[in-house]
Amino acid sequence: MDVEAWLASLGLARYAAAFRANDVDRKVLLGLSDADLQSLGVASLGHRKRLLAAIAALAER
């Protein structure tokens, strides 16, 4: 899975560099928490909620 493309599809490509710099791949992505997203620099609550919902949808697949 291309995490950067996935972020772009959510309109959140601005976080791609942080995810790449922290080696976030699909396996790591599925275990991210709200606190982890904050550590990655996702300051916006709305963006964190959007990401967490999209991660939950991935986990269901």
Tokens 């309109």 -> residue: 11
Q: Rounded to two decimals, what is the model's pTM?
A: 0.92
pLDDT for the residue 41: 97
pLDDT of residue 61: 83
Q: What is the pLDDT of residues 5-57, one digit of tens each?
A: 999 999 999 999 999 999 999 999 999 999 999 999 999 999 999 999 999 99
Q: How many CB atoms lie within 10 A of CB 51?
A: 24
Please give the domain boundaries of the chain with CATH numbers for all domains. 3-60 (1.10.150.50)
**What is the number of residues in the chain?**
61
Q: For residue range 10-21, what is the model confidence (pLDDT) as tens digits?
A: 999 999 999 999
pLDDT at residue 56 in the model? 97
Q: What are phi and psi of 31, to 5 degrees?
A: -105, 5
